[in-house]
Amino acid sequence: MIDDVPILPGFRGIAGRYRAAILDLWGVIHNGLEAFPSAVACLGRFRDAKIRTLLLSNAPRRSSEVVQRLVELGIPRSAYDSIITSGDLTRAALTARGDGFHAGLGRRYFRLGPERDWGLMEALDYTVVDRLSTASFIVVTGLLDDDTETVADYGAFLAEALERDLPLICANPDHEVQRGTRHVPCAGQLAAAYERLGGRVAYHGKPHAAAYAACFATFDGIERHQVFAVGDSLRTDIAGANGAGVDGYFITSGIHAAELGIAPGETPDGAKIAAACRVGGYRPQAALAALRW
């Protein structure tokens, strides 16, 4: 049982233990609207320390699109070694169709999510349809309008999907992210609601094992004990690190800040963090207020 979680001021004192890092984006390096200066500076220090840096995001878009958005936020492509998104993982699974779930999907899909995510399925051998009655499966990237809607608005949609026994592909397992100071719902909430009704769901992204297998494939034989992961979500980032057998470092200024009673810039309370971790069985190596060197 976790009684306390160590609090670190930054990574300077422990960076020498590692050769590679798996870093979350939302809540760690940016908040959807602006980059965090200390995090961008830390990326540079990781590079100086010869730590191979991979950004692992549950964004339901191709990594090329996320790279462009990072540039717009002031994070150059030279600041990190590689990037993998849940969009990339979704496309790979739909291309390979290497298991029974994906092999049985058919080729006609109904798309649920905002227009900004429509490039996810571009150039794949599938056809989008505009009615559930003509679909063989559903691809969910998010709510149509996450500024005004909640999962409760999709009760009728999920009921019809279940009645038709449509499998659902979740291209973003996050339940919520922080956009500026607001929390907005993500595709993972819809997928979880569908599962609770009895629907069939496949998730692509953190905390699922395939996301970390894709990371290790880029690390050229670096051992798992030489890899660490950083994120602001216990349910995805820390659970994913635990499942992958790597050290997970929890950023407390992200989506759990209000739950933990942490004000911006305030030093986290290790006992409070431990209490939150015990609820879900999460095991962070340590916690930090923010990604900093």
Q: Give the model confidence (pLDDT) of 6-17 as tens digits.
A: 999 999 999 999
Domain end call among 203, 224, 250: 203
User: Can you tell me whether residue 185 is helix, strand or coil?
Assistant: strand
Q: Is 225:233 a contact under the CB 8 Å cutoff?
A: no
Is there a single domain that holds both residue 196 and residue 220?
no
Is there a single domain that holds both residue 236 and residue 197?
no
Q: Name the average pLDDT for the chain.
A: 95
Is there a single domain that holds both residue 190 and residue 250?
no
Query: In degrees rounded to 5, what are phi and psi of residue 179?
Result: -110, 105
In a domain, 92, yes or no: no
Is there a single domain that holds both residue 194 and residue 210?
no
- Spatial distance between the Cα atoms of 155 and 172, rounded to a whole number of angstroms: 19
Cα→Cα distances 139→61, 172, 237, 238, Å: 12, 10, 23, 26
Q: What is the CATH number of the domain that holds 246?
A: 3.40.50.1000
Is residue 252 packed enough to be buried (19+ CB in 10 Å), middle (13-18) or exposed (0-12)?
buried
Q: Which residue has the tokens 């990594």?
A: 63
Banded model confidence at residue 267, pLDDT cuts 50, 70, 90: confident
Average pLDDT over residues 54-71: 97
pLDDT tens for 135-175 read 999 999 999 998 899 999 999 999 999 999 999 999 999 99
* Domain tally, the chain: 2
Is there a single domain that holds both residue 196 and residue 223?
no
In a domain, 81, yes or no: no
Please list, residue by residue across 117-142, b when 16 or more beta carbons sit within 10 angstroms of its beta carbon and e when fewer do: beebbeeeebeeeeeeeebbbbbbbb
Is there a single domain that holds both residue 188 and residue 105?
yes
In a domain, 94, yes or no: no
The sign of the CA dihedral 178, 111, 69, 173 is positive
The parent domain of residue 235 ranges over: 15-58+206-288
- pTM score above 0.85: yes
Average pLDDT over residues 172-184: 88
Is there a single domain that holds both residue 163 and residue 188?
yes
Is there a single domain that holds both residue 216 and residue 266?
yes
| pLDDT of 265 | 67
User: DSSP H helical segments within 218-250, as ranges?
Assistant: 239-244
Domain end call among 146, 171, 203: 203
Q: Is 187:175 a contact under the CB 8 Å cutoff?
A: no
Is there a single domain that holds both residue 116 and residue 197?
yes
Which of the pair, 284 or 263, is modelled with greater confidence?
284
In a domain, 7, yes or no: no
Is there a single domain that holds both residue 146 and residue 109?
yes
Domain end call among 153, 172, 203: 203
Which strand (E) or helix (H) includes residue 177? strand 176-179
Instruction: Give every strand in the sheet of 127-129, ordered side by side.
Output: 127-129, 108-112, 137-140, 168-170, 201-203
Is there a single domain that holds both residue 213 and residue 180?
no
Average pLDDT over residues 85-110: 98
Please list, residue by residue across 158-196, b when 16 or more beta carbons sit within 10 angstroms of its beta carbon and e when fewer do: beebeeeebbbbbbbbbbbbbeeeeebbbbbbbbbbbee
In a domain, 5, yes or no: no
- Spatial distance between the Cα atoms of 65 and 80, rounded to a whole number of angstroms: 16
In a domain, 95, yes or no: no
In a domain, 145, yes or no: yes
| pLDDT of 260 | 86
Q: Which residues contact 254 (CB under 8 A, 6 or more apart)?
A: 26, 27, 28, 178, 231, 232, 233
In a domain, 9, yes or no: no
- Spatial distance between the Cα atoms of 204 and 188, rounded to a whole number of angstroms: 10
Is there a single domain that holds both residue 132 and residue 181?
yes
| pLDDT of 101 | 97
